[in-house]
Amino acid sequence: MKLLSILFATLLVVLPLHGEESVETREFKSKIFDVHNRAPNEIVGAVRLLGSGFKGSGISMNEELRTITVRDFPENIATIEEAIKRLDQVEAAPIITLNVSVLIGSKTPVPTADPIPEDLSRVVKVMSKMLRYSHFGLLTSIVHRTKPGAGVEGSGVMDSLLIRTTTTGARPIPYNYNIRGITTSGNVTNIDRFQFSMRLPVRMNPSEIDYRNIGFETPVSIRQNEKVVIGNAVMGDRALIVVVTATVEAP
């Protein structure tokens, strides 16, 4: 009995040591994965814990080449490979619709402008109190469809009679807007920069016309279907007012 007890105790000691040696002596393999649709650092952060964690194993990435390199046991590499395939997919981006409306506010009638549409009537009531204008007209309304990370821009020409400044006859007044840094958070559209500018012709003397740039630049956040007055440019007894509406559609 004493001999059997000694043998049993010996087995208890030898078996764990034998198991550790079998793991440590296994060979690592290496494999390089190409990343096509997502940022490599995002995928590495998600799959790093799938590695064995043994000394000598590891996972690295190359942002420029868009590759991920794994050194580990074959079964860990296989698990990481499957995870990379699942994660490296094109993300469906929401569709953002921006409706940019340019209005003219005046203390006198604006016969050359289009009537204000019904959906902007509440905005006009607020602006009439803030800017003390009794007449409004629509210069233009443009719809843009875009995605997060993109930008849009637009331009046009307005009749000089709409502004009533010192110009030469019917000299046109060009305008443009530039929208950059468009992102979404739920149903809110965020714009890093909304820039609007117009070149206003001004008579310097009887024979000379000079163009002056006027406008504004600002960041803005717009809730779903909310109408936001981005800015306005006052010119004499009239003002140019930019209103933007944004809607976010799920992919």
Model confidence, pTM: 0.62
CATH 3.30.1370.120 applies to domain 27-91: yes
Residue 248's closest CA among 167, 132, 148? 148
pLDDT of residue 215: 85
Query: What is the rounded end-to-end Cα distance, in angstroms, of the chain?
Result: 75
pLDDT of residue 13: 40
The whole-angstrom separation of Cα 145 and Cα 107 is 34
Tokens standing for residue 223:
């809730």
Mind listing the pLDDT tens digit of every residue in the chain (251 residues)?
443 443 334 434 444 444 444 555 679 999 999 999 988 999 999 999 999 999 999 999 999 999 999 999 999 999 999 999 999 988 778 899 999 999 988 888 877 778 888 989 888 888 888 878 888 889 889 999 998 888 899 998 877 666 655 454 557 788 899 999 999 988 899 999 999 998 877 777 777 777 778 888 999 999 998 999 988 777 777 888 899 999 998 87
pLDDT of residue 146: 92
The whole-angstrom separation of Cα 177 and Cα 156 is 9
b/e for 221-239, b at 16 or more Cβ within 10 A?
Answer: ebeeeebbbbbbbebeebb
Report CA-CA distances (Å) from 23 to 59, 102, 119, 214.
19, 71, 71, 73
**Domain-by-domain residue ranges, the chain?**
27-91, 95-249
